[in-house]
């Protein structure tokens, strides 16, 4: 067994309760990162789900200026443009549907219905799927159909049954594979179905036509700019335009929510790293003396460093492995409890899991390396007398100065004139600098508070004032940084709550839904409106 691992095993087993408590603390810190990342990603996913179901996932489209059908071959050119994830032609038409068993209604008439049909390329339609389903699935080939509740009720047909498209020529049989979720709004609502575009072409006798070409672009592209770049490639009377998603600004909202997710995860990562690193310095004086004694009996500096690396890896890595499943479980319970508000379901971000594990492991290594460096950088006798050495005032002042510089740095970033550059720099540099700055500033603040209230606390506890103030002064760094780590953890909770409310309020401000509708076929008079 290597000497470094033997020393590490002795350190871990010699204080088993302390080791277990540290692993639990690390696991809880990494669970915090995972829970924050998973929670924010779940909320973001549900908002994107609502937007896609409300106005579709389409970013841009090609249409005819006067609403006429056009040659669907234009889609092949669109698919070659940079930034296009998927492009698909869609055709609208009317179909007459009937039951295959010639069932009659209560008046003795054969049950049949003329519906509005949307024809899509079923093999490419997954990225465009806009509807929530009451049951079943979307069509996968040209022999399947998706109905709305109105069509299903009038045809008295459900999932698994076969209906028939009547036309001049042989009928087309379609299997019902799903019922979409569509509220029934009264007599003026038209029944709609979702089929493969080849069904409409075969029923109408016209092929190769499209009513619209729907386009989905890569994430991060500015849709209006992309449209302006490529609109000259479309010949009149066709027109390339932004879809409702981009015109209403929802694409920017989605991108902003993703940036919020990443910044929230970064802040949670910092909180985890601070908490773990401070936890690893618990009883640091005892650790330094123990390592100094090992040097007295012949242990080398490299062996001390290796042993502490093993300790940090065992505690940080062990807690980093236990924490993410716990964080996911907490988020899963909350997603289940609030399932009515989270239609997108639980979304587990891989980057959040990686940050939780890496943050715990790296912070564990850094926290364990500090006492090893202290013991290795001085003589054994000086390390043994570590607790007798007072905390240097210059070190406390240096923490305060560095903290203030970092806080001032994030304020300077706000002076950048370019809005996009300012936002990106502040999100990924300013916020971490702000949290690290306040984390370091906690040390001189703690010293000042302990001097102000130390004697009052000593009288309250009926202890010698010099004993209380001396202990507080001696633990200025550990206690101050612990308070700073708790402050950062609290900021994670506040920022997560604020970001969630901002996303929901922004979505609510853009779209306001009425609680009820009043309709009259002949129109409402002034008295009726009043």
DSSP 269-281: HHHHHHHHHHHHT
Of 207, 242, 277, which residue sits at a domain end?
Answer: 242
Of 466, 26, 4, which is closest to residue 273 (Cα–Cα)?
26
Give the per-residue pLDDT at 246.
46
Of 388, 423, 443, which residue sits at a domain end?
Answer: 388
528 within domain boundaries: no
Of 388, 411, 433, which residue sits at a domain end?
Answer: 388
Of 372, 278, 328, which is closest to residue 26 (Cα–Cα)?
278
Residues 45 and 69 in one domain: no
212 within domain boundaries: yes
Give the per-residue pLDDT at 401.
92
Structural domain total, the chain: 3
Q: Is the peptide bond before 237 cis (omega within 30 degrees of 0)?
A: yes
Residues 137 and 235 in one domain: yes
457 within domain boundaries: yes
101 is in which domain, residue-wise?
60-242
DSSP letters spanning 296-355: HTT--HHHHHHHHHHHHHHHHHHHHHHHHHHHHHHHHHHHHHTGGG-TT-----HHHHHH
Give the per-residue pLDDT at 271.
72
Could you give phi then psi for residue 210, rounded to 5 degrees? -140, 145
473 within domain boundaries: yes
β-pair type (212-217, 172-180)? unpaired
499 within domain boundaries: no
Give the per-residue pLDDT at 486.
78
CA atoms within a 13 Å half-sphere pointing along the CA-CB vector of 311: 36
503 within domain boundaries: no
CA distance readout (Å), 230 to 58, 221, 247, 396: 16, 13, 17, 60
Residues 220 and 255 in one domain: no
Give the per-residue pLDDT at 484.
82
Residues 96 and 122 in one domain: yes
Residues 166 and 298 in one domain: no
505 within domain boundaries: no
Residues 478 and 403 in one domain: yes
CA atoms within a 13 Å half-sphere pointing along the CA-CB vector of 56: 15
316 within domain boundaries: yes
Query: Mean pLDDT per 10-residue run, the chain (530 residues)?
Result: 71 77 85 84 76 68 84 88 88 88 79 88 77 85 90 88 87 90 74 89 85 84 83 86 60 60 72 72 64 70 74 84 91 87 83 85 78 66 60 84 91 83 79 84 87 82 78 76 78 68 59 64 69
CA atoms within a 13 Å half-sphere pointing along the CA-CB vector of 254: 22
Residues 124 and 195 in one domain: yes
């Amino acid at each position: 067994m290597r000497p470094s691992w033997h020393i590490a095993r002795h350190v871990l087993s010699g204080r088993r309760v302390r080791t277990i408590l540290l692993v639990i603390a690390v696991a809880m810190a990494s669970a915090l990162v995972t829970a924050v990342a998973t929670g924010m990603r779940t909320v973001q996913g549900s908002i994107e789900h609502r937007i896609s179901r409300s106005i579709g996932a389409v970013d841009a489209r090609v249409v005819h200026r006067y609403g006429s059908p056009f040659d669907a071959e234009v889609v092949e050119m669109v698919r070659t443009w940079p930034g296009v994830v998927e492009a698909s032609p869609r055709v609208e038409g009317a179909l007459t549907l009937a039951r295959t068993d010639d069932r009659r209604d209560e008046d003795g008439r054969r049950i049949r219905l003329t519906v509005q049909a949307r024809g899509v390329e079923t093999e490419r339609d997954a990225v465009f799927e806009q509807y929530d389903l009451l049951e079943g699935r979307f069509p996968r080939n040209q022999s399947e159909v998706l109905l709305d509740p109105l069509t299903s009720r009038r045809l008295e047909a459900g999932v698994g049954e076969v209906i028939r498209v009547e036309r001049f020529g042989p009928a087309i049989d379609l299997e019902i594979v799903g019922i979409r979720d569509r509220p029934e709004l009264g007599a003026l609502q038209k029944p709609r179905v979702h089929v493969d575009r080849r069904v409409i072409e075969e029923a109408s006798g016209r092929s190769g036509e499209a009513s619209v070409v729907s386009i989905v672009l890569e994430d991060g592209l500015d849709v209006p700019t992309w449209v302006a770049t490529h609109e000259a490639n479309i010949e009149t009377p066709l027109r390339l335009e932004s879809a409702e998603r981009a015109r209403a600004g929802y694409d920017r909202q989605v991108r902003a929510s993703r940036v919020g997710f990443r910044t929230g995860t970064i802040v949670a990562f910092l909180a985890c790293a601070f908490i773990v690193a401070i936890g690893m310095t618990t009883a640091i004086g005892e650790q330094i003396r123990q390592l100094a004694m090992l040097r007295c009996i012949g242990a080398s500096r490299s062996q001390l460093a290796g042993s502490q690396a093993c300790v940090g890896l065992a505690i940080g890595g062990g807690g980093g492995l236990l924490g993410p499943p716990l964080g996911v479980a907490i988020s899963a319970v909350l997603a289940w409890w609030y399932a009515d508000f989270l239609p997108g379901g639980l979304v587990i971000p891989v980057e959040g899991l990686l940050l939780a594990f890496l943050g715990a492991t790296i912070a564990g290594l850094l926290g364990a390396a500090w006492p090893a460096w202290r013991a290795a950088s001085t003589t054994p006798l000086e390390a043994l007398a570590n607790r007798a050495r007072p905390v240097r005032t210059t070190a406390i002042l240096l923490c305060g100065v560095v903290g203030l510089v970092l806080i001032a740095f994030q304020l300077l970033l706000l002076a950048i004139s370019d809005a996009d550059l300012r936002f990106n720099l502040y999100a990924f540099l300013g916020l971490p600098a702000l949290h690290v700055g306040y984390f370091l500033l906690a040390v001189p603040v703690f010293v000042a508070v302990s001097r102000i209230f130390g004697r009052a606390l000593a009288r309250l506890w009926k202890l010698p004032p010099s004993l209380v103030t001396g202990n507080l002064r001696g633990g200025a760094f550990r206690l101050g940084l612990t308070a700073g780590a708790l402050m950062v953890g609290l900021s994670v909770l506040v920022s997560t709550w604020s970001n969630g409310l901002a996303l929901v309020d922004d979505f609510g401000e853009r779209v306001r839904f009425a609680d009820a509708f009043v309709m009259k076929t002949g129109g409402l008079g002034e008295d009726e409106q009043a």
